[in-house]
Amino acid sequence: MISLRKTCFAVASAFALTMAVEAAPAAAQVDSHGHEMCNPITNITPQNPIHSLNGNLVLQQSSYPCPVAEAPAPAPAPAPAAPQTYTVYFDFDRSNIRADAEPVLRQALEAAQAGNQNFALTGHTDTVGSAEYNMGLSLRRAESVQNWLEQRGVPANATSVAGRGFSEPAVPTGPQVREQRNRRVEIILQ
């Protein structure tokens, strides 16, 4: 009879523990050293604790420290933004700013003012004429854009100017070929 009584008590205790597991409010289960403990066999976790009749948390022998959630890896640094590029075109053998260049130059100016950036101005030509002449013409085109920017408040030290002549065509052509897309200044905001 004693054996039967112990068995009934054990079954009743197991039933009560099961009910307590399902009905228990979320609370951290802490051992005597202040560590959260988990038990995978009876599903005892800090979110699903078992309380004794006197309200204390019950720790099973197979309880172990709960896994500590690792801090998420820091997000990778954002890639540097691609530089903004604008292109203005020039008439054959000219370095003056055309009317159709004004809107493009204004966009570049507004973008630079919003981000307090510097301008890299690189002039280019088509392949008509000598390399020496075209190098000078490409530089004059870049300086023309620099002057336009300075007249609108951009300090000279916020611009760099370079000429490439016909060495870096936008559209590859043979020698002595007029090509509008090669007669340009590329404006790069840095």
Residue range 151-175, pLDDT digits in tens: 999 998 999 999 999 999 999 999 9
Residue 9 forms part of a structural domain: no
Domain count, the chain: 2
Residue 154 forms part of a structural domain: yes
- Which of the four pLDDT bands, split at 50, 70 and 90, describes residue 39? low
Q: Is 6 left (phi over 0), alpha (psi -120 to 50) or beta?
A: alpha
Q: What's the domain range around 148?
A: 84-189
Cα dihedral 103→107→112→114 (10° resolution): 130
Residue 2 forms part of a structural domain: no
Do residues 50 and 109 both lie within one domain?
no
Residue 17 forms part of a structural domain: no
Output the average pLDDT for the chain: 78
Q: What is the reported pTM?
A: 0.59
Q: Which of 13, 38, 66 is the last residue of a domain?
A: 66
Do residues 138 and 178 both lie within one domain?
yes
Give 85-139 pLDDT, tens digit per residue: 999 999 999 999 999 999 999 999 998 888 768 999 999 999 999 999 999 999 9
Residue 76 forms part of a structural domain: no
